[in-house]
């Protein structure tokens, strides 16, 4: 417990001393995490096309003005203009982007595996990530640009992606989410206008309730209200590839934490990652997110709720017309919508007690896959994920017929 506590003290001091407007923090010649790639090459050109798969870049605009990047991927011998397979949308986790689905080999990465199985693969990238393209009127330097949480990612970003893909393909859409992508999915699917366009959903490390997470470092951050301190210090963007972000992680790794094992220190022990791919992983991850998003997630852990953002009593009354933020009612997800979920025994972010809470509120009975040794990241990066996770998931998805959404 001593090391996590020391790490927490360090984090508290760092954010207290270095406000968002402080640009004097030292420049580093070496960094645990490489900074964001300076050239603005596309996800298609960097990770998909070099593997021999056709890939096209798309851009959509959300109802609140954010410009999101979508990629469409076909099998090696496929034709993007004549896709016949069912459309499937992949939704990445927190501090990740659409690249997360392509960071293993072509035979191990879900994005490629789905294309090889005849799916019309669409890769989602939420606002703020490096594969998305800003806003129609706001600059990334403005705090208003970062005034969002997973609630907006569900009701605007995911909704916008589905509304773009559906008329192009004239088909209902399969949705696959990991971690934050599952929170987005659960919330969005409570909305009838979104749910009616979805054929089925497959959720990896499913999260809606978070009260029982066991990751010690995350628990310490929650209990010490680090999220509140970050916002009070003037940080609205959380970008660990910025100057302050790389400085923070390098100092933390130098002094307190074994960053070779940084993933398991936050997410739980992962059984089956390929160590030779870590350099590639950290070349692309983490992506930026908003401090408000982290604050919303920590609210959920503290309160044991699956609700909209809590602004406090007076603003809640102004925004929602009630003292507390409205809950997302999981019973509103249609009973007819097939759900498939995979969870791990070593996952310290997606806890079985919380998942049971989720399942109890659903009208339908989801198909479950339990993998005792899997941690949170194994579901997207395990060398064994194809046989353990993806093959059963694809079998489930292929059991449903071709539907056309209205």
Task: Return the active site residues.
Answer: 179, 347, 376
Nearest partner of 179 among 283, 289, 331, 15, judged by Cα = 289
Q: Which tokens in the block code for residue 235?
A: 């940080």
CA distance 130 to 78: 27
Query: DSSP states of 90-105 as a string?
Result: EE--TT--GGGGGSS-
What's 382's DSSP letter?
B
For residues 240 and 248, the answer to whether their CB atoms sit within 8 Å is: yes
For residues 100 and 71, the answer to whether their CB atoms sit within 8 Å is: no
For residues 346 and 374, the answer to whether their CB atoms sit within 8 Å is: yes
Q: Which tokens in the block code for residue 62?
A: 């959300």
Query: DSSP states of 318-375 as a string?
Result: HHTSSSSPPBP-GGGS-TTS-EEEEEETT-SSS-HHHHHHHHHH-SS--EEEEETT--
If DSSP codes are grouped into helix, strand and coil, which group holds residue 146? helix
Helices 291-303 + 216-223 axis angle, to 10: 90
For residues 342 and 379, the answer to whether their CB atoms sit within 8 Å is: yes
Long-range (24+ apart) CB contacts under 8 A made by 80-83 are 80/54, 80/55, 80/56, 83/120, 83/169
Nearest partner of 58 among 70, 44, 46, 68, judged by Cα = 70
From residue 371, give the alpha-carbon distance in Å to each of 171, 173, 335, 357: 32, 26, 26, 19
């Amino acid at each position: 417990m001593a090391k996590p506590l020391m790490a927490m003290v360090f984090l508290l001091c760092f954010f207290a001393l270095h406000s968002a407007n402080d640009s004097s923090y030292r420049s580093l010649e070496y960094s645990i995490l490489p900074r964001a790639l300076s050239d603005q090459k596309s996800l298609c050109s960097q990770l998909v096309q070099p593997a021999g798969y056709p890939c096209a870049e798309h851009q959509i605009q959300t109802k609140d003005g954010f410009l999101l990047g979508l990629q469409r991927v076909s099998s090696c011998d496929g034709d993007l203009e004549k896709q016949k397979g069912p459309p499937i949308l992949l939704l990445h986790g927190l501090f990740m982007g659409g690249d997360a689905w392509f960071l293993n080999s072509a035979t191990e990465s879900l994005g490629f595996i789905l294309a090889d199985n005849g799916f019309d693969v669409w890769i989602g990238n939420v606002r703020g990530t490096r594969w998305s393209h800003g806003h129609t009127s706001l600059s990334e330097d403005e705090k208003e640009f970062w005034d969002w949480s997973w609630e907006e990612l569900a009701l605007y970003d995911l909704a916008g992606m589905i509304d773009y893909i559906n008329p192009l393909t004239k088909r209902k859409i399969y949705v696959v989410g990991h971690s934050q992508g599952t929170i987005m999915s659960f919330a969005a699917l409570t909305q009838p206008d979104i749910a009616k366009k979805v054929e089925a959903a497959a959720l990896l490390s499913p999260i809606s309730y978070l009260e029982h997470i066991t990751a010690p470092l995350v628990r310490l951050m929650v209990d010490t209200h680090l999220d509140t301190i970050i916002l009070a210090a003037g940080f609205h963007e959380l970008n660990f590839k910025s100057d302050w972000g790389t400085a923070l992680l390098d100092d933390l790794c130098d002094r307190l934490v074994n960053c070779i094992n940084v993933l398991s220190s936050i997410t739980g022990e992962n059984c089956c990652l390929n160590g030779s791919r870590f350099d590639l992983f950290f070349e692309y991850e983490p992506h930026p997110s908003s401090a408000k998003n982290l604050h919303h997630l920590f609210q959920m852990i503290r309160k044991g709720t699956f609700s909209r953002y809590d602004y406090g009593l007076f603003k809640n009354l102004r925004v929602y017309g009630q003292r507390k933020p409205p809950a997302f009612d999981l019973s509103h997800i249609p009973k007819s919508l097939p759900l498939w979920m995979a969870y791990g025994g070593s996952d310290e972010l997606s806890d079985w007690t919380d998942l049971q809470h989720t399942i109890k509120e659903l009208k339908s009975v989801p198909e479950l896959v339990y993998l005792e040794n899997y941690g949170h990241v194994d579901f997207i990066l395990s060398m064994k994920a194809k046989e353990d996770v993806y093959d059963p998931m694809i079998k489930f998805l292929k059991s449903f017929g071709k539907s056309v959404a209205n």
